[in-house]
C-alpha cells in the first residue's frame, strides 16, 4: 500500500540516497582500515623510538667522561713536552710531526699559537725525529690524523731494522766475515822490536860556546 503510493520521482530519490549511503560506507570503511594500519605502524615506531631513547640515554655522560679523560691526557702530555723541551722546541717538534698544527698551538698554552716553530729537522738529529715518528709506527696509532700507519704491524720488521745503520736489511748475498785473530790468523802482524826495550838515548850534546852555565 505504502510502496504503491510512492511517486516515481520519490522512488528515484530513494535509490539515489541509497547509492550515496553505499558510497559513504564503502569509502569510510576502507579509510578506517587504512587508518588502523597507520595506527599499528605508529605503535611500532613508538616502541622502537622508545628503545632508541632508552639506549642512547647514557651515551652523553659516557662520551663526556671519555672526552674529559682524553683532555686530561692531552693536557698532561702537552705540559710534559713543554716542560721538558721548552715552548719553541715543543712547537717545532709537533709541527715537524703534524704539518700545520703549530698554528693551532697547545690547548693550555695560548702563547704557543704565536710561537715561531723552528725547523726541527735542523735542530735535532735524525734519531730524535725517528723516535718521535714511532708514534705513527705503533699499532695503536691507526687513527693518527697525520696519515696511515707507517709500519706493517702484521709481519713487517723492516721499518724497525731500517732504524740501524746496517746493511743487513738490504739482504746482501754475502756479508763480510768476522776477522780471525790468534796465531792461526791468516793475517799476522809482526811484533815490533822496540816495544818493551829500553828507549834509545839521544846523543849527548856538547856545551855550546858562550853558554853562561859553563864556567
Partner 1 sequence: MILWWIGDAILLVAVIPVVVYLLKGVLDAATSIVPSVEKIASAAAAGSKDLDATALLLTTQDQVAKTVAGVAEYGGSLDVILDDAS
Residues that bind partner 1 (CB under 8 A): 7, 9-10, 12-13, 16-17, 19-20, 23-24, 26-28, 30-31, 34-35, 37-38, 41-42, 44-45, 48-49, 51-52, 55-56, 58-59, 62-63, 65-66, 69-70, 72-73, 76-77, 80, 82-86, 89
Q: Based on CB atoms, which residue is closest to partner 1, 86 or 156? A: 86
- Min dist. Cβ of residue 114 to partner 1 (A): 18
Q: Based on CB atoms, which residue is closest to partner 1, 24 or 185? A: 24
- Min dist. Cβ of residue 69 to partner 1 (A): 5
- Min dist. Cβ of residue 52 to partner 1 (A): 5
- Min dist. Cβ of residue 116 to partner 1 (A): 16
Q: Based on CB atoms, which residue is closest to partner 1, 35 or 167? A: 35
Q: Based on CB atoms, which residue is closest to partner 1, 61 or 190? A: 61
**CA distance linking residue 91 with residue 100, whole number of Å:** 11
- Min dist. Cβ of residue 94 to partner 1 (A): 15
Question: What HEC string does the chain produce?
Answer: CCCCCCCHHHHHHHHHHHHHHHHHHHHHHHHHHHHHHHHHHHHHHHHHHHHHHHHHCCHHHHHHHHHHHHHHHHHHHHHHHHHHHCHHHHHHHHHHHCCCHHHCCCCCCHHHHCCCCCCHHHHCCHHHHHHHHHHHHCHHHCCCCCCCCCCCCCCCCHHHHCCCCCCHHHCCCCCCCCCCCCCCCCCCCCCCCCCCCCCCCCCCCCCCCCCCCCC
Q: Based on CB atoms, which residue is closest to partner 1, 107 or 161? A: 107
Amino acid at each position: 500500500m505504502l510502496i504503491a503510493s510512492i511517486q516515481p520521482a520519490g522512488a528515484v530519490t530513494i535509490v539515489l540516497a541509497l547509492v550515496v549511503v553505499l558510497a559513504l560506507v564503502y569509502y569510510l570503511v576502507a579509510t578506517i582500515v587504512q587508518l588502523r594500519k597507520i595506527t599499528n605502524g605508529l605503535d611500532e615506531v613508538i616502541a622502537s623510538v622508545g628503545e632508541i631513547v632508552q639506549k642512547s640515554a647514557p651515551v652523553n655522560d659516557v662520551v663526556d667522561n671519555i672526552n674529559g679523560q682524553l683532555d686530561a691526557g692531552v693536557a698532561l702530555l702537552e705540559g710534559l713536552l713543554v716542560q721538558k723541551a721548552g715552548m719553541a722546541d715543543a712547537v717545532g717538534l709537533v709541527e715537524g710531526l703534524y704539518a700545520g698544527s703549530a698554528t693551532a698551538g697547545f690547548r693550555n698554552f695560548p702563547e704557543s699559537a704565536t710561537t715561531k716553530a723552528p725547523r726541527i729537522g735542523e735542530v735535532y738529529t735524525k734519531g730524535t725525529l725517528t723516535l718521535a715518528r714511532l708514534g705513527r709506527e705503533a699499532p695503536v696509532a691507526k687513527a693518527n690524523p697525520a696519515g696511515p700507519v707507517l709500519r706493517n704491524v702484521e709481519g713487517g720488521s723492516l721499518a724497525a731494522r731500517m732504524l740501524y745503520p746496517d746493511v743487513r736489511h738490504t739482504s746482501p748475498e754475502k756479508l763480510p766475515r768476522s776477522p780471525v785473530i790468534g796465531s792461526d790468523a791468516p793475517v799476522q802482524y809482526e811484533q815490533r822490536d822496540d816495544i818493551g826495550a829500553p828507549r834509545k838515548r839521544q846523543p849527548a850534546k856538547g856545551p855550546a860556546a858562550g853558554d853562561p852555565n859553563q864556567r
